[in-house]
Chains A and B, each alone.
Chain A
């Protein structure tokens, strides 16, 4: 089975532009989360979706939005890009919500976004 797949792997955008990042979860996984990792920091939670509904939102501005599609894939959108949005964006999937019941959270390899 394929793991969590993300696209694109690398991209460069200009300040003020918009970006869309895509994620396909592991087959059978219904929960998708997005994290931002800047250099030297741990991943920071942005959104979680489960069964196409938003189940959590981190401390990010409204420029960040996401959605989950009927096939459980997901998109992360960022508008009006700032230099500080340069980071690795990670997508994670799990079968269900309750990690303590053994629903391990698996991460993709990430999308490297550079804003110039």
Chain B
């Protein structure tokens, strides 16, 4: 039973355009969401997060939008750069579960074409 779903395994975008990565979740107890970026042979790197009390958080070229009623979040990268090519993981947290474990989606592989 996957509680965090990234339904697009891959995405190709032209350099300079917007990349939109999507994530859906089923557990309404999740109240904090994070995006991680992972290059091959490296550990995941934290990108940006959002609390459930917000609907948008922005950090430079990265913006995360949260739609709680739809249980959907998205990561926007503008403008996309070739160095953004990586696997992006959406993760969610339910502190009420007693620990602060992250539940991850399967990831979306982003390819930014020069």
Q: Do chains A and B stick together as partners?
A: yes
Query: A interface vs B, CB < 8 Å?
Result: 4, 31, 33, 35, 40-45, 48, 55-56, 58, 90, 92, 94, 97-100, 104-110
Q: Which of B43-90 contact A (CB under 8 A)?
A: 43-46, 49, 51, 89
Evaluate contact between B42 and A99: CB separation under 8 angstroms. no
Is B93 an interface position by the 8 A CB rule?
Answer: yes
Given contacts A43-B44, A90-B43, A99-B32, contact A48 B106 (CB under 8 A): no
**Chain B residues within 8 Å of A106, by CB:** 46
Give A100 to B95 CA distance when docked, in angstroms: 9
Complex partner residue of A42 from B31, B32, B49, B105, CB under 8 angstroms: B105
- A55 in contact with B104 (CB, 8 Å): no
Complex: A58 Cα to B104 Cα, angstroms: 13
Chain A residues contacting B41 (CB-CB under 8 Å) are 109
Q: Are B101 and A33 in contact (CB under 8 A)?
A: yes
Contacting pair A90 B44 (CB below 8 A):
yes
Cα separation A97 to B36 with both chains bound (whole Å) = 18
CB pair B46–A105 under 8 Å, yes or no, is yes
Q: B114: CB under 8 A from chain A?
A: no
Our pick among A56, A92, A108 for the contact of B99 (Cβ within 8 Å) is A56
Assess whether A45 is in contact with B32, with CB atoms less than 8 Å apart: no
Q: Are B44 and A107 in contact (CB under 8 A)?
A: yes
Taking a contact as CB atoms under 8 Å apart, the answer to whether B43 and A99 are in contact is: no
Contacts A56-B97, A99-B100 given: A42-B43 contact, CB under 8 Å?
no
Task: Show 19 residue pairs from A and B whose CB-CB distance is below 8 angstroms, ordered by the A residue.
Answer: A31-B100, A35-B104, A43-B102, A45-B101, A45-B102, A45-B103, A48-B100, A55-B98, A56-B97, A56-B98, A56-B99, A90-B43, A99-B49, A99-B93, A104-B49, A105-B46, A105-B102, A109-B42, A110-B43
Give chain B residues whose Cβ lies under 8 Å from the Cβ of A45.
101-103
The residue that A41 contacts in the complex, of B34, B51, B95, B106, with Cβ under 8 A, is: B106
B58 → chain A closest CB, angstroms: 16
Task: Say how far A41's CB is from chain B's closest CB, in angstroms.
Answer: 6
Q: Which residues of A contact B100 (CB under 8 A)?
A: 31, 33, 48, 55-56, 94, 97-99, 105
Given A106-B46, A108-B43, are A100 and B51 also a contact pair (CB < 8 Å)?
yes
